[in-house]
Amino acid sequence: MGFQILDARDPWGCHKWLEYWNSWEDREVFAHPAYVRLFCRKQDKAMCAAYLSGDTKILFPFILRDLVEEPWVVEAQFRGLHDIITPYGYGGAFRLDGNSEQTSFWSEFGRWAVEQNVVSMFMRMSLFSDQLEPFEGQLRTIGENIVVQLMEPLDIIIAGYKHKVRTNVDKARRNGLYAIVDYNGEFLSSFLEIYYQTMDRNKAKLEYYFPRSFFQEVIDNLPGQYVFFHISDGDEILSTELVLLSAHRAYSYLGGTKAESFPLRPNDLLKHEIIVWGKNRGLRQLVLG
């Protein structure tokens, strides 16, 4: 079948994208069309470059943006020019087959991008390079991520916590705190209250103030690809987190903690409960970010 470009707005294109994604053992949430659409403005296009040749399968989800729509563009010379980004999270050209053979994917994608007058591309790459078709552009490391190896015995994982974290988990339990696993966003209002308070406290950029509709779209369009965790004292939720799920991995995504509850140590218990849940579910890794 070779190289093809799929557009999530086109029913056939979205169907093929999902068909390829569902055939993939890893089924990374960041490559799902509904996830990519979360980060599209009205004029943006959620797209996917697919490459199929023999046993080789590659999916590269991305957002195509018209530069004339950017607020900093004031000159007509930008008309007809585009750029490409990947949605917030971890992306790249995913190898669905686990094969490491060199392909012509990037050269074919490059030709298509030139035809579309694409002038730049920015990607946040998957942490797991064995998932990816080697990139032929410029790569830069801008930070490290913490990844918990959930295949390790639980006592080994806990032994890897800092001493104060283990102490805080015990303290939270002594304070009567416990976890609620929320598979359908039942406590979304409480999550949002705490999340926005946390963004205010941390003086977060405006782009991190995702509206309620963003989270509702996750709930409605990504069933089985998310779970909320909440820590409660029996009266109210004190700490909360949205975790995204792929077939083999969990990703700490967005969350927060009530400042007045810090002495009870709910956040350390929250992370611990996510680790225990992920391990019991048979996941391989938890990406804390």
Asked if residue 40 is part of any domain, the answer here is yes
Asked if residue 142 is part of any domain, the answer here is no
**What global pTM score does this model have?**
0.93
Domain boundary among 100, 131, 162: 131
Asked if residue 111 is part of any domain, the answer here is yes
pLDDT in tens, 71-127: 666 666 667 899 999 999 999 999 998 776 778 999 999 999 999 999 999 999 999
Q: What per-residue confidence (pLDDT) applies to 129?
A: 87
Other C-beta atoms within 10 Å of 59: how many? 23
The length of the chain is 289
Tally the domains of the chain: 2
Question: Is the distance from CB of 284 to CB of 150 less than 8 angstroms?
Answer: yes
Q: Which domain holds residue 31?
A: 2-131
Please classify residue 116 by burial: count the beta carbons closer than 10 Å to its beta carbon, then call 0-12 exposed, 13-18 middle and 19+ buried. Answer: middle
Are both 269 and 181 inside the same structural domain? yes
Are both 109 and 169 inside the same structural domain? no
Domain boundary among 131, 157, 173: 131
Nearest C-alpha neighbor of 94 from the set 36, 152, 13, 8: 36
pLDDT in tens, 18-34: 999 999 999 999 999 99
Contacts for 265 with CB less than 8 Å, ≥ 6 apart: 168, 169, 171, 172, 175, 177
Contacts for 4 with CB less than 8 Å, ≥ 6 apart: 16, 49, 50, 51, 52
Are both 117 and 170 inside the same structural domain? no
Domain boundary among 92, 107, 131: 131
